[in-house]
């Protein structure tokens, strides 16, 4: 018996879709997506990616493309058979590729993505989400009752047929080589009755021209069996064309394919760098927030080409704090004969990375200066991410300070620049004051702000998690240091009060005695009790010691196990508040010390709650509150 005879013939197998794929197909088939023609763009985009992947592999293995036809994509219609076919002569797939690629969704965040699609507002948001998790292929089931994929991996002697009706399972079977593509993939859609409009050649041709005209692989269109192919796209890379030859509509469609979104780009940047290193850049800032903006991996979508050969779709070109930018870079200088990992470690790549990042920051600055309303939308979507650069990238901090926008006590809706802030400093004000927290409205109501408002001092309200980190490491802006209003002494007595405002008077001797008593009562919970010059209406607030993290940063570090022990806070008490004066008088008269002890603990708990914390001992709090109420009402 020969060796060939002993080799078992591969059998057809039927498998169930992964659970998340089944959910996705159900949503698609039930018309979550209102614009069904997007399936053309998604499948053509997949075909173009397959060609680009083979182009890269052929650098090391030229035999993979030897004697084959030039890279191309073909879209063909057959009205009698009611099929629409999209073919490519790219990399093709193995049996394992078919199972992994067409039976599962491997990207992180898929469950959250599907949960969002299933929500009541899914129809309004679905178009912006498709493509973001590698699910473009499944859009075929919006228009097809059955989908057949014939494929042969470049260089392989095996071919496979994948088929499914999208109702829960798929089948993979061997395909005779005489029925298979020479290499690449052929996707045949058996259109359902509601989608026969896509068999009209004029409509499908228009869709291809509008949505896929900028792909980097030529596209041919066959309107009926036996007809001559018509070339609809020449495969010239859009980034390689002069800007004057690219229309805004072409930029938008290329952006949509690159980003997997259906919005308009807020900013399009297209330039060619010349000199020591030559490279071309096409970058887009999205017009809406991507679904995975805060994915912990903080990966961007940056395609790196070397002389029109795709090296990687996930190049580390931009820092994490610019991960929302969608980008293509095509270099003339990087080598093609080394691994993609080594390419990204080269000095040339480092220079490109630095140049591209600097240019994007500069362009954001120009947008902020020349089109403030447009920039305001960019900042609304991506400001929290850009501010990560203030902490991670000190080299570019000055440039980022120029574009950063903040909410303040005088401009609670945001839009305030640091330059605006410094220009409005009060006489004798020597610092830029800020307050950090986790919610803007709560910050605006913080008792620590009362004395600053009384003196007309503007305070930055910083509610993004990264704010606590960058503001603690930045030296300052325009010669003015940053100072937390919830840390250390306020030192604002030298700033004049605004008209009609009253500041706390110095603590009387009776109040000073009360503060000492409160300190003794709370000695296990606070470091110090002192009269406040920052409170005008509230009775008390908590302040962090002068040195170390402020209250919010300490809270965040402790929550993540980065702080072995939290420092005791300082309790500041308003010396002229009616409650303070009343308690001081009672203590002076030797009355009801237990009641004053209860009041001291309640004062501390109130201060914790006002800054967004919790009562640390609820039963003790409830008992004290009951005793105080009984005394007041008795």
- Other Cβ atoms within 10 Å of 556 Cβ, number: 17
pLDDT of residue 129: 44
64-76 pLDDT tens trace: 998 888 999 999 9
535-563 pLDDT tens trace: 999 999 999 988 878 788 878 887 777 77
Identify the bridge partners of residue 151 per DSSP, sorted by sequence position.
160, 185
Can you tell me whether residue 544 is helix, strand or coil? strand
pTM of the model: 0.72
pLDDT of residue 132: 44
Least confident stretch, 62-76, 424-438, 563-577? 563-577
d(CA 44, CA 232): 12
pLDDT winner (highest mean) among 79-83, 192-196, 253-257: 79-83
pLDDT of residue 116: 56
- Other Cβ atoms within 10 Å of 119 Cβ, number: 11
Query: Which band of pLDDT confidence, cut at 50, 70 and 90, is reported for residue 108?
Result: very low
Identify which has the larger pLDDT, 384 or 591.
384
Query: Which band of pLDDT confidence, cut at 50, 70 and 90, is reported for residue 113?
Result: low
Secondary structure letter of residue 40 according to DSSP: H
Can you tell me whether residue 174 is helix, strand or coil? strand
- Reference 587, options 492, 498, 504, 520; nearest CA is 520
Check: CB of residue 20 under 8 Å from CB of residue 109.
no
- Give start-end residues of each CATH 1.20.120.790 domain in the chain: 509-633
- Reference 137, options 104, 175, 182; nearest CA is 104
d(CA 221, CA 52): 20
Identify which has the larger pLDDT, 123 or 176.
176
d(CA 457, CA 427): 10
d(CA 135, CA 113): 11
Check: CB of residue 270 under 8 Å from CB of residue 258.
no
Maximum distance among all alpha carbons in the chain? 112
Sign for the CA dihedral angle at 305, 307, 309, 311 comes to negative
Query: Which band of pLDDT confidence, cut at 50, 70 and 90, is reported for residue 148?
Result: very high
- Mean pLDDT confidence for 119-128: 48
Q: What is the DSSP string of 463-526?
A: -STTHHHHHHH---BTTB-EEETTBS----TTSPPPTT---PPPPPHHHHHHHHHHHHHTTTT-
| 252-286 core/surface letters (b: 16 or more CB in 10 A; e: else) | bbbbbbbbbbbbebbbbbbeebeeebebbbbbbbb
Identify which has the larger pLDDT, 31 or 531.
531
Which is it for strands 528-531 and 570-573: parallel, antiparallel or unpaired? Answer: parallel
pLDDT of residue 318: 94
Query: Angle between the 593-610 and 509-521 helix axes, to the nearest 10 degrees?
Result: 80
Q: What's domain 10-233's architecture? A: 2-Layer Sandwich (3.30)
180-238 pLDDT tens trace: 999 999 999 999 999 999 999 999 998 898 778 778 899 999 999 999 999 998 888 88
Query: Which band of pLDDT confidence, cut at 50, 70 and 90, is reported for residue 435?
Result: very high
Identify which has the larger pLDDT, 616 or 158.
158
Residue 104, pLDDT > 70, answer: no
pLDDT of residue 34: 52
- Mean pLDDT confidence for 497-504: 82
d(CA 173, CA 170): 10
Query: Which band of pLDDT confidence, cut at 50, 70 and 90, is reported for residue 10?
Result: low
H helix intervals, 30-166: 38-60, 95-103, 110-118, 122-129
- Reference 532, options 497, 568, 504, 493; nearest CA is 504
583-608 pLDDT tens trace: 999 998 887 889 999 999 999 999 99
Q: How far is CA 335 from CA 154, 281, 365, in A?
A: 24, 18, 33
Q: How far is CA 462 from CA 432, 551, 626, in A?
A: 12, 13, 37
User: Quick one: tokens of 370?
Assistant: 């020349």
pLDDT of residue 114: 55
For the domain 509-633, what is the CATH code?
A: 1.20.120.790
574-586 pLDDT tens trace: 999 999 999 999 9
Give φ, ψ of 508 to 5 degrees: -70, 170
User: Quick one: tokens of 225?
Assistant: 């069996």
d(CA 268, CA 256): 12
pLDDT of residue 119: 58
Q: What is the CA radius of gyration of the chain?
A: 33
Q: What is the DSSP string of 205-268?
A: HHHHHHHHTTSSS-EEEESSTTPPPEEEE----GGGS-GGGS-HHHHHHHHHHHHT--S--SEE
Identify the bridge partners of residue 187 per DSSP, sorted by sequence position.
86, 149
pLDDT of residue 162: 95
Sign for the CA dihedral angle at 215, 319, 343, 355 comes to positive
Residue found by looking up tokens 């004051």 in the block: 433
d(CA 403, CA 400): 5
Domain 239-379 has CATH 3.30.230.80: yes
Q: How far is CA 56 from the centre of its chain?
A: 29
160-182 pLDDT tens trace: 999 998 888 899 999 999 999 99
- Mean predicted lDDT score pLDDT of the chain: 87
User: Quick one: tokens of 477?
Assistant: 């802006």
In sequence order, the 6+-apart residues with CB closer than 8 A to the CB of 530 are 515, 570, 571, 572, 573
Helix, strand and coil percent figures for the chain, each rounded to 5: 40, 20, 40
Q: How far is CA 25 from the centre of its chain?
A: 26
d(CA 535, CA 511): 15
pLDDT of residue 20: 67
pLDDT of residue 111: 54
The torsion defined by the Cα of 134, 138, 143 and 148, in degrees rounded to 10, comes to 120
315-343 pLDDT tens trace: 899 999 999 999 999 998 888 666 677 88
- Give start-end residues of each CATH 3.30.230.80 domain in the chain: 239-379
pLDDT of residue 180: 95
- Other Cβ atoms within 10 Å of 97 Cβ, number: 16
HSE (CB half, 13 Å, CA atoms) of 524? 2
Residue found by looking up tokens 């640390």 in the block: 616
Check: CB of residue 99 under 8 Å from CB of residue 188.
no
Residue 109, pLDDT > 80, answer: no
- Reference 170, options 160, 180, 179; nearest CA is 160
Q: How many contiguous H segments (helices) and E segments (strands) does the chain have?
A: 22, 21
Least confident stretch, 98-112, 379-393, 410-424? 98-112
pLDDT of residue 105: 58
Residue 149, pLDDT > 90, answer: yes
């Amino acid at each position: 018996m020969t060796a060939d005879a002993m080799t078992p013939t591969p059998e057809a197998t039927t498998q169930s879709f992964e659970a998340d794929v089944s959910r996705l197909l159900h949503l698609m088939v039930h018309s979550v997506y209102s614009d069904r023609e997007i399936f053309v763009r998604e499948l053509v985009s997949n075909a173009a990616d397959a060609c680009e992947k083979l182009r890269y592999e052929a650098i090391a293995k030229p035999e993979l493309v030897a004697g084959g036809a030039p890279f191309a994509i073909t879209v063909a219609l057959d009205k009698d058979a009611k099929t629409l076919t999209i073919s490519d002569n790219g990399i093709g797939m193995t049996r394992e590729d078919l199972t992994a690629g067409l039976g599962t969704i491997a990207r992180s965040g898929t469950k959250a993505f599907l949960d969002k699609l299933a929500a009541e507002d899914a129809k309004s948001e679905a178009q912006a989400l498709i493509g973001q998790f590698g699910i473009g292929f499944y859009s075929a089931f919006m228009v097809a009752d059955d989908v057949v994929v014939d494929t042969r991996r470049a260089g392989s002697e095996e071919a496979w047929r994948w088929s499914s009706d999208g109702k829960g399972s798929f089948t993979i079977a061997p395909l005779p080589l005489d029925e298979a593509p020479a290499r690449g993939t052929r996707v045949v859609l058996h259109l359902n009755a509601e989608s026969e409009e896509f068999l009209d050649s004029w409509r499908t041709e228009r869709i291809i021209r509008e949505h896929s005209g900028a792909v980097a692989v030529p596209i041919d269109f066959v309107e009926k069996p036996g007809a001559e192919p018509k070339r609809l796209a020449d495969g010239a890379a859009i980034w390689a064309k002069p800007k004057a030859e690219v229309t805004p509509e072409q930029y938008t469609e290329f952006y949509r394919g690159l980003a997997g979104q259906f919005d308009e780009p807020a900013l399009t940047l297209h330039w060619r760098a010349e000199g020591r290193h030559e490279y071309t850049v096409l970058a887009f800032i999205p017009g809406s927030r991507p679904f995975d903006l805060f994915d912990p991996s903080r990966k961007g979508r940056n395609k790196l080409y070397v002389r029109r050969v795709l090296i990687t779709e996930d190049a580390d070109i931009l820092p994490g704090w610019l991960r929302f930018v969608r980008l293509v870079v095509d270099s003339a200088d990087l080598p093609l004969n080394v691994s993609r990992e080594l390419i990204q470690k080269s000095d040339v790549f480092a220079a490109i990375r630095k140049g591209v990042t600097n240019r994007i920051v500069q362009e954001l600055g120009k947008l902020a200066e020349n089109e403030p309303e447009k920039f305001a939308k960019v900042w609304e979507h991506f400001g929290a991410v850009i501010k990560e650069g203030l902490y991670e990238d000190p080299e570019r901090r000055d440039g980022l300070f120029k574009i950063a926008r903040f909410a303040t006590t005088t401009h609670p809706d945001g839009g305030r620049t640091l330059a605006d802030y410094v220009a409005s400093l009060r006489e004798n004000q020597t610092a830029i004051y800020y307050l950090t927290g986790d919610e803007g409205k709560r910050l605006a109501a913080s008792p620590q702000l009362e004395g600053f408002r009384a003196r007309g001092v503007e305070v930055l309200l910083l509610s993004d998690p990264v704010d606590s980190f960058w503001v603690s490491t930045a030296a300052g802006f325009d010669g003015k240091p940053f100072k937390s209003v919830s840390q250390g002494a306020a030192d604002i007595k030298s700033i004049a009060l605004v008209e009609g405002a009253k500041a706390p008077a110095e603590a009387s001797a009776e109040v000073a005695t009360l503060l000492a008593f409160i300190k003794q009562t709370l000695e296990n919970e606070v470091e110090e009790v002192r009269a406040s010059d920052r409170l005008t209406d509230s009775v008390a607030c908590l302040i962090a010691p002068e040195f170390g993290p402020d209250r919010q940063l300490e809270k965040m570090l402790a929550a993540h196990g980065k702080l072995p022990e939290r420092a005791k806070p300082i309790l500041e008490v308003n010396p002229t508040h009616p409650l303070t004066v009343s308690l001081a008088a009672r203590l002076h008269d030797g009355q009801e010390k237990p009641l004053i002890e209860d009041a001291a603990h309640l004062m501390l708990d109130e201060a914790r709650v006002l800054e967004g914390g919790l009562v640390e001992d609820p039963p003790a709090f409830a008992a004290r509150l009951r005793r105080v109420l009984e005394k007041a009402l008795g």
